[in-house]
Structure 1
């Protein structure tokens, strides 16, 4: 049984800063843990 539910990188499809794709804030991952 793993504690990780999902790890995904969506910065290339869901930009946080849409006006600047190379903005460092667009480099992120989401980690969902089972609780």
Structure 2
């Protein structure tokens, strides 16, 4: 546990770079799973 967060909504804000990289990984995973 490294975040100073009390586990109640709303959660901590994430940097936009983290959101972007995570989105790209999900898009890549979707492409791999749905391509013949």
TM interval, shorter chain, is: under 0.3
TM-score, structure 2 as length reference: 0.19
Q: Which has the higher helix share?
A: 2
Query: Which fold has the larger relative contact order, with Cα–Cα distance below 8 Å and residues 6 or more apart in sequence?
Result: 1
TM-score, structure 1 as length reference: 0.20
> Which has more radius of gyration?
2
